[in-house]
Structure 1
Amino acid sequence: MPSIRVGNDTDRMLTVRVEPLGEDFWLKPGERLTLVARAPEGPDSGEPPFEVTQHDSGVNVWSHLDVEPVAYDGSGTEVHCGHQRPAEPPPPGDETEYLLSSPANARRLAESIEELEGGGRTPAPT
């Protein structure tokens, strides 16, 4: 089965987001994550199973729609969404990525969006 390995050669946590499912995996410095493409039986679409993009706060791995990506850590153990997600917010500069990936912060994120959009509420009469 086709696979791709993502490594963290930085000195800080690296977020690997697998799309279109929105799964997040967090790698400590020096760690690796292998994504294996499990595909249903049938004709091959001919498309590469993965596409990788890098951005300031991590890496996105897009999987082809007919592929089920399965993640394994460096020891070959299957890992799941939220793998090593920090319990505490990361250092300044990484807050946006943390807010987007932490279910514990979902309410805070929703409130921030509501505030940015003007609250979506009609002010109370004075």
Structure 2
Amino acid sequence: MDEPLPGVDGRRRLPVSNVGDQVVCLFVEPFGEDFWLQPEETFVVIGGAVDPEFSVSVISDHVIVWANAGDPYEVQVVDGRSGNVLECGHGRPGEAPQAE
């Protein structure tokens, strides 16, 4: 896997792309936030520290990213095209379970 890209502010960025033809869920831990990628869409996970350590797990239609260093409240997920910060549940299909 490629090294996360360094950002302008020194925080690392980890791009996650959906290169398949089905919707994929990106879970960001430790809070279990969900972001749903359409085919050909890329989101970027930005660490909450200058030099975070990411770990990544993959199951059939889910990618789970753990930000293992820094303040977890500072971790952001942004749209790879627009750079806009995404909210938890972005793109969530109607049949997906809702967070409580």
Equivalent residue pairs, number? 87
Q: Which fold has the larger relative contact order, with Cα–Cα distance below 8 Å and residues 6 or more apart in sequence? A: 2
Letter in 2 for 1:79: L
Instruction: Give the alignment's TM-score, normalised by structure 1.
Output: 0.62
Cα distance in 2 for partners of 1:35, 1:65 equals 13
Is 2:53 the counterpart of 1:49?
Answer: yes
Structure 1 residue ranges (4+ consecutive) displaced by more than 2 angstroms after TM superposition: 65-68
- Higher strand fraction: Structure 1 or Structure 2? 2
Alpha-carbon RMSD: 1.8
Cα distance in 2 for partners of 1:63, 1:70 equals 10
Question: Where does the alignment leave 5 or more consecutive residues of structure 2 unmatched?
Answer: 1-10
Question: Where does the alignment leave 5 or more consecutive residues of structure 1 unmatched?
Answer: 90-97, 107-126
- Higher helix fraction: Structure 1 or Structure 2? 1
Tell me the secondary structure at the aligned position of residue 29 of structure 1.
Answer: coil
Cα distance in 2 for partners of 1:37, 1:56 equals 24
